[in-house]
């Protein structure tokens, strides 16, 4: 058996394989209220054979919402919606983590009654977010320059994360993942280009990491360090934020997480968004910094995952686009079967089309290439 299909323990959670479903924005929550719904339940249940299903980014507060119709985990209605999803995923034999998300400046004032999005600093930057027009069509919009959070707002922000972790436990999630990657709020604090603060949350690397580590500590205090993972993208350029320190801030955070016994570190590699492949030199540094479970993500196929598992650089791999298109991805990878191609036009918004209608192998058995050549 290859490593990808061997079990893995995260804290007290036993995972049957190392093929994870990556967090994927799909913009199909019920509006108003950003409530997880039955369509989302069906989609996640179809993918329950993942070693771990990681939810799409899920806002910790109304303020944290930066895209149209993304789900939240701050209202009781949202918690109930998620509960029905986690119950169904568990009943199908799966395990699920909630990805806790605050988009910060990757945002638009129309989602907040005209109020400006918040960030570490009021720095002009170039990025776009996705909204919906009155007919429900997804439209892209430029993000405005945000306002800087004041120092005395930050304890409230940590509390928002703490409450969302409590809600995630109440909603039946097995783990939470703190989204600190891809140029969203916690990454905006971590990176020098987006953080020009002069208080104890800006300046030195230790200061820039303070909010993220405070959030991790608050969540660990609520649900236990062995139930909290952190997603980082230490190298690359996303959402108008350049990680231009050769990954140093990511390595600093990785060491701090190792000291805290954080359940896992989820590494988003630059090639998910068309950037270069991460080199083995950085992978070695990251492994030295964080001896716990490392989940790799970014344009993975089985061969890339196996090579990095064999080298000891990762312990699991998260698959995004291929999991969108293949609800039974682990079985397909295990048996070397053909993959359905993803259809990018239906990634965001819309209904079941391009969401719950990708066929599993069993729906189309036997796959064309193993049909016996001699008809029986
Ligand atoms: C997206 O919606 O394009 C998106 C969301 C979260 C990410 C990356 C991309 O981390």
Query: Which pLDDT belongs to residue 371?
Result: 53
Q: Which residue among 182, 239, 268, 320 is best mutated to probe the pocket of ligand 1, counting the most ligand atoms within 8 A of its Cβ?
A: 182
120-129 average pLDDT score: 98
Element (H, E) at 80: helix 76-91
Q: Is the CB of 127 under 6 A from ligand 1?
A: no
Tens of pLDDT, residue by residue over 294-318, are 999 999 999 999 999 999 999 999 9
Q: Which residue's CA is minimally distant from atom 7 of ligand 1?
A: 182
Q: Taking residues 115-143, what's their average pLDDT?
A: 97
Q: Which atom of ligand 1 is nearest to the CA of 130?
A: 2
- If you average pLDDT over every residue of the chain, what do you get? 96
* Contact of 50 with 322, CB cutoff 8 Å: no
- The whole-number average pLDDT for the span 128-132 is 98
Query: Which distant-in-sequence residues (6+ apart) come within 8 Å of 269 by Cβ?
Result: 233, 235, 236, 275, 277, 278, 296, 297, 298, 299
Question: How far is 217 from 165, CA to CA, in rounded Å?
Answer: 11
pLDDT for the residue numbered 139: 98
Vertex 183: Cα angle to 257 and 213 (nearest 5):
25
Output the pTM of the full model: 0.96
Residue-level pLDDT at 58: 98
Q: Residue 283 has what pLDDT? A: 98
What span, in angstroms and rounded, lies between the C-alpha atoms of 317 and 309?
A: 9
Nearest residue to 26 (alpha-carbon basis) of 360, 363, 356, 271: 356
How far is it, in rounded angstroms, from Cα 64 to Cα 320?
23
How far, in Å, CA of 17 to CA of 369, rounded? Answer: 26
3-state secondary structure of 314: coil
Question: Poorest-confidence range of 216-220, 256-260, 365-369?
Answer: 365-369
Which residue's entry shows tokens 């359940």?
Answer: 263
Phi-psi domain of 69 (left: phi exceeds 0; alpha: psi -120 through 50; beta: other):
left
Beta carbon of 182 within 6 Å of any ligand 1 atom: yes
The model's pLDDT over 38-87, given as tens digits with 9 standing for 90+, comes to: 999 999 999 999 999 999 999 999 999 999 999 999 999 999 999 999 99
Higher per-residue pLDDT: 366 or 219: 219
Q: How far apart are CA 255 and CA 287, in angstroms?
A: 10
Average pLDDT over residues 276-284: 96
- Pocket residue to mutate for ligand 1, from 22, 57, 69, 232, most atoms within 8 A of Cβ: 57
Residue with tokens 């005395």: 152
pLDDT of amino acid 366: 61
Which amino acid residue places its CA nearest to atom 3 of ligand 1? 25
Distance from the alpha carbon of residue 344 to the mean position of ligand 1, in angstroms: 13
pLDDT in tens, 2-32: 699 999 999 999 999 999 999 999 999 999 9
Instruction: Dump pLDDT digits (tens) for 317-333.
Output: 999 999 999 999 999 99
pLDDT, tens digit (0-9, with 9 covering 90-100), for 171-209:
999 999 999 999 999 999 999 999 999 999 999 999 999
Can you tell me the distance from the alpha carbon of 131 to that of 136, in angstroms, rounded to the nearest whole number? 9
Band of pLDDT at residue 376, cut at 50, 70 and 90: very low
**Binning pLDDT at 50, 70 and 90, where does residue 367 land?**
low
The CA distance from 326 to 342, in Å, is: 8
**How many percent of the chain have pLDDT more than 70?**
96
Would you state the pLDDT for residue 369? 55
Q: What is the largest CA-CA distance in the chain?
A: 76
Cα-based torsion angle of the residue sequence 354, 112, 118, 236 in order, rounded to the nearest 10 degrees = 20
Tell me what pLDDT residue 370 has.
55
| CA distances to 5, 56, 58, 183, 310 from 179, in Å | 26, 10, 9, 10, 27
């Amino acid at each position: 058996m290859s490593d990808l299909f061997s079990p893995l323990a995260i804290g007290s959670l036993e995972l049957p394989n190392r093929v994870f479903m990556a967090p994927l924005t799909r913009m199909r929550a019920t509006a108003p209220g950003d409530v997880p719904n039955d369509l989302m339940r069906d989609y996640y249940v179809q993918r329950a054979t993942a070693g771990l299903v990681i939810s799409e980014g899920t806002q910790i507060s109304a303020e944290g919402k930066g895209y149209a119709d993304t789900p939240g985990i701050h209202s009781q209605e949202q918690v109930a919606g998620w509960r029905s999803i986690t119950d169904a995923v568990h009943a199908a034999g799966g395990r699920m983590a909630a990805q806790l998300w605050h988009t910060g400046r990757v945002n638009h004032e129309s989602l907040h009654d005209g109020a400006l999005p918040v960030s570490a600093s009021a720095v002009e930057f170039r990025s776009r977010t996705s909204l919906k027009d009155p007919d429900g069509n997804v439209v892209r919009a430029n993000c405005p320059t945000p306002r800087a959070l004041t120092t005395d707002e930050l304890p409230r922000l940590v509390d928002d994360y703490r409450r969302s972790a409590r809600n995630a436990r109440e909603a039946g999630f097995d783990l939470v993942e703190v989204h600190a990657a891809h140029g969203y709020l916690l990454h905006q604090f971590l990176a020098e280009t987006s953080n020009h603060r002069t208080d104890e949350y800006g300046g030195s690397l230790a200061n820039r990491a303070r909010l993220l580590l405070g959030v991790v500590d608050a969540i660990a205090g609520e649900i236990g360090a062995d139930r909290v993972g952190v997603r980082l993208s230490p190298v690359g350029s996303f959402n108008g934020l350049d990680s231009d320190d050769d990954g140093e801030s990511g390595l600093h955070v990785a060491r701090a997480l190792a000291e805290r016994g954080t359940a896992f570190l989820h590494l988003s590699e630059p090639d998910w968004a068309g950037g270069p492949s991460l080199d083995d030199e950085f992978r070695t540094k990251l492994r030295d910094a964080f001896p716990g479970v490392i989940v790799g993500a970014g344009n993975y196929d089985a061969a890339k995952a196996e090579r990095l598992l064999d080298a000891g650089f990762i312990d699991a791999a998260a698959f995004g686009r291929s999991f969108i298109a293949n609800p039974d991805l682990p079985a397909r990878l295990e048996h070397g079967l053909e993959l359905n191609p993803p259809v990018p036009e239906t990634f965001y918004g819309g209904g079941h089309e391009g969401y719950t209608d990708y066929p599993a192998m069993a729906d189309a058995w036997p796959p064309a290439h193993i049909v016996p050549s001699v008809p029986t």
